[in-house]
Structure 1
C-alpha cells in the first residue's frame, strides 16, 4: 500500500469516527450538585482586613454534561464576599458548564467593614450564600464570617508621593533616622485597654519620656513588619493578671499577628518584635503571651542599670522564628517565664550584660527546620561591620531552679572571647539541663560541670516530662525529674508558679509545679 493511499484511508477513518461521536450537549442542572462543604466558615477577621482565600469544590456526579444557569451570591453585588469560578472573578455567573463526573473549584474571599452594621457591639456575624440555579433546583452553600471591631494604629502616608512615614528614633539620647515604617504613639494611645483589640501597622514607638501602659486582658495584633519600640527614657508597663482558667487567658495581655484564622494561630515570624532601645527604662511585663514574632523581645543596652532594664514575670513566649528573648549588653530579670519553639535560641544573652532567671522554663523544640543554636546562648562579644571583634563584660548570668531543655543537644552554649580585663560570669544552680557532650566537643573551664563556681546542684539529661511540647504545653507531669528539686531560697523569692500555685513547701524546677496528666481516651 502506497504511503499516499494509507494517508487517504486514515483521513476517511477519522472522518467516519468523528461523525459517529456525539457532540457535547449540556443539559440544565437538576439540583443534584454535590459540594465539599455545606457551610464555608471564613473564620474571624478584623474589620476592613481581607480574609484568607477559602475554596469550595462542586461535583457533578451524574452521567450528563450539565450547565448551571446561574451561580452567584445571594446578596448579589452588595455582598462583601468575592468569588472566583474557574479563574474568573465575579459575584454572579451564568451558564456555568460542568462535564459529567467532573468538578469545579470556587474560591471565596471577604473584606467587611463592621461600621456598615447597626449595633455590632464589637463584633458582627456576617453571612451570605452561594446560590446554584433557582426555583425547585435551587441549592445553597452558606458563608459565615465573624468580623471584629478594632482600634487601628498605622503610619501616615503622603497623599501626593504615597510615601509612608518612617521613624526617627531616640537611641540613648541620639536621634537616628531609620527606614522603619511607623510613627510615635499619640497621647491618647498611651493607655491600651481590653475594650477592643488593637491592630498595629508598622512600628509604634513610645515617645521619649512617656510610658505605654497596657491593661489586663488587652490584645495587640501586629501586621507583617510591625511591632513596638520603646525609646530613650520611655517605658512599657504590661499589667496582665492571673486568669482563673489558664486555657482562656482572659486576663493576660496577648501580643500576636493580625491573622486570626486557625492556620496562622501557631505560625512563627508573622510580625517583628517588642524592642527596648538603649536608654529605655523601668520596663515591666507581667502575665503576657508573646507569640509568632520574628523576635519575641529584643532588649538593648543599659547593662549596669540600678533597676533591671526589663523585668518579665509570669509570661510565655512561643513560636519566634529567630529568638524568644534576645538581650544585647543589657539587664533582664525573669521569673516564671516560659519560652519554647524558637528558630535560633529561646534565650540569648549576647555582647555581655546582666541576666537573672529564676523558676523559668527555657525550652526549644523547634521542628520547622535546622536550628543553629541551643536553647540558651551566652556570649560577650560582637563583630562590627569592619570585622572587628568587640568584647565586653558578662557581669552575671544566673539561672536558678530552671529547666533548660529541648530537642537538640547540648542546650547551652557559652561562647566566650577571653580578655584579661573582661568578666564572663555565669552560674546554673539547681537546674535541669540537657547537656550530653558525647563527642567531647565542649571543653575548657566553662564546661566543667563539677566547677561549683559555675554549676551547682544541677540535674542533667533526665526527662522533664512536659505535657506536649509541640503545643507549647510545658507544664510537667508526675514522672518529671524536676519534682521537688528546687532550692527553697529561690522558691521563697518566687513563691507561686505561673498558674498561681504555691511552691514554697516542695518547689519543682521551672515555671510550673507538676500535675497529674489526665488519661487519654
Structure 2
C-alpha cells in the first residue's frame, strides 16, 4: 500500500501533461469547403399589407460537417420601402455575427418583413432580397421573396356621413370599424375586406354592399366584382380556415341593409343582428346572391347584457332577415339561429351544412321564441319563418334533424315551408309536419346525390353544392315572382326551377 500514493501522484502529473479532450462536434473547422445546408432555397412571404408586417417565417440551417463551424455573419439588407428583421438565438437584428453551429447540428433563423407604402395602389408588387451567410470566408445566400400591397386601414374607426369603400385597394380592419347610427357605408363591386383576429365591422346605421350591381352574364365563383370578407392572414394555410376574425354585426338602430353578390368566410359569425331588447322597428338585413362559409361559431360574449351565445352563419336576436339565392355551409354550430322573434325569409337558398372542420351536434337551423338576459327570461316573442324552394341538408350522422323550432307548437301558424328539401325526422308527422306543400323529406342519397361534390363524397377542399345530374331537387321548385336568376346569375327555369341556390346548367 505504501506504493499506492506515489503512483497516484505520478498518474495525476501525467494526466495534467496530456492535451484536453473535446468532443469532435465541438472542434471548429476552418475549411472553406465546410458549407451550410438549408431546408429551402427561397423564403416566400404571401402578400404583406404595407406598414403592417408579415407573419414570421422559419429557416432551418444545417451543419452537416462532423466538426463545428463558426458563421461569421448572418445578415439581410433592408431596402427603400422594406425592412427585414432576423431573430436568432433570441437576438433580434438585421445582422448577427459569430454564431457557432456544432457538428451535425442545426440553427433556426426567423425572418420578418415590413413593407412601406408605394404609389402602386391596386396590384401586389414584388420585393426580393438575399439572406446572406458567411462561413470560413464562404458566402451562401437564401432568397427572400415578398409581395407587398397597399391598403386602406380602419383601426377602431367610426365612419360618419355617406362613406364609400372603393375597390382600388384592399381594406384592412383592426379591432373594429363602426358605421355611425346616422351614416351609410356603401361598398363598391370587387372590394376586398380583410379583418385582423377578433375584428368586426359594426353597423349602427346602414350598410349597402353592391346595392346597384347588375352582372351581365353568368358569374364565376372567383368573379372580381364579388365583394369578399375574410381574415388578414394571406398564407395558403389560412385560405379556408374558420374563426380568423369576428364578423358583420348590426346594432338595434341599424336599418336598410343590403348585401348582394358577396362572400363572407372564415369568421366567428357571418351576419349578426344584435337587438336583444326587441327594439322596434327591428333591424333588417336583405341578403342576395351571397356565400357564407367556414364559420367557427366560437362563443360570443356580450358582457353588458349578460349574454353568451355560439355564433352562426346568420344569427338574429330580434332581427329580420330576407335571404335569397344564398349558400351557407361549414358552420360549426348553426347555419341559422334566430331567438326572441324576428322574421326569417329564405327563397332559393342552400343550407348545406357539411362541417368537415368540426364535430357538430347542433341543428343547422334553430329558432326559439325566448332568450335569457342576465339570467332573466325575457317575454316570449314568436318568430316568423318562411322558406321556399330551399335545401336544409348535411352529412351529419349525429343529427337526423337539421331544422328545430323550440316551442314551435306555440307559433306553428308563423311557420311556412314549401317546395324544399329537408333533413328532418322530427317534422315528418304531428302539428309541425312538413310532409306537405311540395316538400321532400329525407331523400335517400345514392345514386341520386343532392350535390355534385361534398365532404362525404370527396375528401378534398373544393366542394360544389350545385345540384348533381340526378339530384332529387332538380325541377322540383315553383316559380317565384321577381326571382329569375340563381346565385351565379344564371336564368331560372321559368316553369319548373331547381330547388336551392343553384340552377343546374342545361347542356
Q: Give TM class, smaller chain.
A: 0.7 to 0.9
User: What is the aligned partner in structure 2 of residue 496 from structure 1?
Assistant: 485
Deviation at 1:126, TM superposition (A): 1.9
User: What is the aligned partner in structure 2 of residue 398 from structure 1?
Assistant: 386
Q: Secondary structure at the match of 2:270?
A: strand
Contact residue 31 and residue 138 of structure 1 kept, 8 A: no
1:382 aligns with 2:371: yes
Pick which of 45-54 and 240-249 moved more. 240-249
Deviation at 1:76, TM superposition (A): 8.6
305 and 460 in structure 1: CA distance in 2 versus 1, 3 angstrom threshold: farther
516 and 98 in structure 1: CA distance in 2 versus 1, 3 angstrom threshold: farther
Deviation at 1:25, TM superposition (A): 2.1
Pick which of 295-304 and 254-263 moved more. 295-304
Contact residue 403 and residue 423 of structure 2 kept, 8 A: no
Q: Equivalents in 2 of 1:78, 1:416: separation in Å?
A: 58
Contact residue 33 and residue 61 of structure 1 kept, 8 A: yes
Q: Equivalents in 2 of 1:143, 1:446: separation in Å?
A: 66
Deviation at 1:511, TM superposition (A): 0.6
5 Å-filtered alignment, 1:446-465, equals 447-450=432-435, 452=436, 456-463=438-445, 464-465=450-451
5 Å-filtered alignment, 1:73-84, equals 73-75=76-78, 80-84=83-87
5 Å-filtered alignment, 1:461-476, equals 461-463=443-445, 464-469=450-455, 470-471=461-462, 473-476=464-467
Deviation at 1:415, TM superposition (A): 3.3
Question: Gaps (5+ residues) in structure 1?
Answer: 156-182
Q: Equivalents in 1 of 2:319, 2:413: separation in Å?
A: 14
5 Å-filtered alignment, 1:212-291, equals 212-231=185-204, 234-239=206-211, 242=215, 246-291=220-265
Q: Equivalents in 2 of 1:316, 1:403: separation in Å?
A: 14
Report Cα offsets for 1:449-507 as digits up to 9, x if no partner.
43x3xx6432414332242455453223324332222x2223x5422211122222442
Q: Secondary structure at the match of 1:263?
A: helix
User: What is the aligned partner in structure 2 of residue 414 from structure 1?
Assistant: 404
1:110 aligns with 2:113: yes
User: What is the aligned partner in structure 2 of residue 174 from structure 1?
Assistant: none
Alignment size in residue pairs = 468
Deviation at 1:369, TM superposition (A): 3.7
Q: Equivalents in 1 of 2:140, 2:329: separation in Å?
A: 48
Contact residue 432 and residue 462 of structure 1 kept, 8 A: no
TM-score after normalising by structure 2: 0.82
Q: Equivalents in 2 of 1:287, 1:65: separation in Å?
A: 60
Report Cα offsets for 1:205-237 as digits up to 9, x if no partner.
2223322111111112222332222225x4534
1:208 aligns with 2:193: no
RMSD, matched Cα: 3.4
Contact residue 121 and residue 169 of structure 2 kept, 8 A: no
Pick which of 237-246 and 398-407 moved more. 237-246
1:329 aligns with 2:310: no
Question: Gaps (5+ residues) in structure 2?
Answer: 298-311, 456-460
Q: Equivalents in 2 of 1:187, 1:135: separation in Å?
A: 64
Report Cα offsets for 1:147-176 as digits up to 9, x if no partner.
110111223xxxxxxxxxxxxxxxxxxxxx
